[in-house]
Amino acid sequence: MARHLLLTGASGTLGRMLAPRLVKRGYQVRLSDINPFPDPVPEGATFVQADLADEGAVQRLVEGTDAIVHLGGISVEKPFRPIIEANILGLTHVFEAARAEKQRIVFASSNHTIGFYERGETLSTKDLVQPDGYYGLSKAYAEMLGRMMFDKHGLESVHMRIGSCLPKPTEARHLSTWLSHDDLERLIIAAVEADKTGHAVVWGVSANSRSWWKEDDAERIGYRPQDNAETFAPLPEEGDAITRRFQGGSFTAQDYTRDDR
């Protein structure tokens, strides 16, 4: 069992939620973020402020841990330059450090890797990616980097294509994309503790009756979601025609310039 985890992106919404949960699970957790940790650091955890663009700092972060839960980086759509620095350069530093230390990475990928599929289409993780912006493109890069790292170096990684990870769903799209906080915890624990993962891609989604996402590597790592967004139905539709058309929701509508609205 992995005992000492590195959690990057710890000062973000999901990192702050996960930090005390991982400690409660019995892990020693090294928290890290470019921003200070805004909460009291849980007993059993430490915090190291670091910029993922600093290769040396990343190498030091990874020393002495058993596995990496990588949530760090930009989590919204941005122009390509900041995305490159945080989500591609920083990510590559994390993978290279993990390779040097022979540590498994559990990575926060995203549904925005496939955002331009239309709603209602049922997808497998083997379907081609259709990113809905530079953010989604950076997550697709991470999945490909993980594939190369496994094929070339044997580095294991689990890529969680997170849908809408919220305390509860708030709009109709979430009835298909919701990932409860409890199921995210279950997914991370399964990914960390699996005997072998290889290069795995798993839909980061709860057991939603209306899910668009089916076939993945969840069984391989032992992930079994338990929550269902249908408990909260019905919910209202939100956004413009493009937002409502595609699985990526509002990300697809940002800077959308085609004349087929």
257: exposed, middle or buried (Cβ count in 10 Å: 0-12, 13-18, 19+): exposed
Number of Cβ within 10 Å of residue 77's Cβ equals: 19
Instruction: Give the pLDDT score at 129.
Output: 98
For the chain (length 261 residues), average pLDDT per consecutive 10? 91 98 98 98 97 97 97 95 94 98 98 98 98 98 98 98 98 98 98 98 98 98 98 98 98 94 69
The residue count of the chain comes to: 261
Residue 258 falls inside a structural domain: no
SS3 of 32, please? Answer: strand
Residue 259 falls inside a structural domain: no
Residue 24 falls inside a structural domain: yes
Residue 156 falls inside a structural domain: yes
SS3 of 114, please? Answer: coil
Residue 260 falls inside a structural domain: no
Instruction: Give the pLDDT score at 260.
Output: 81
Query: How many domains, in total, are found in the chain?
Result: 1
Report d(CA 26, CA 23) in Å as an integer.
Answer: 5
Residue 83 falls inside a structural domain: yes
Are residues 132 and 116 in contact, defined by beta-carbon separation less than 8 angstroms?
Answer: yes
**Can you give the CATH number for the domain in which 167 is found?**
3.40.50.720
- Annotated catalytic residue, options 135, 141, 223, 256: 135
Residue 175 falls inside a structural domain: yes
Which range of residues forms the domain containing residue 160?
Answer: 4-253
Asked if 134 is an active-site residue, the reply is: no
**Token duo for residue 54:** 């600093």
Nearby residues of 139 by Cβ (< 8 Å), 6 or more positions away = 87, 109, 110, 112, 113, 131, 161
Q: What letter would DSSP give residue 66? A: S
Are residues 238 and 260 in contact, defined by beta-carbon separation less than 8 angstroms?
Answer: no
The secondary structure of the chain in percent helix, strand, coil, rounded to multiples of 5, reads 40, 20, 45
Residue 100 falls inside a structural domain: yes
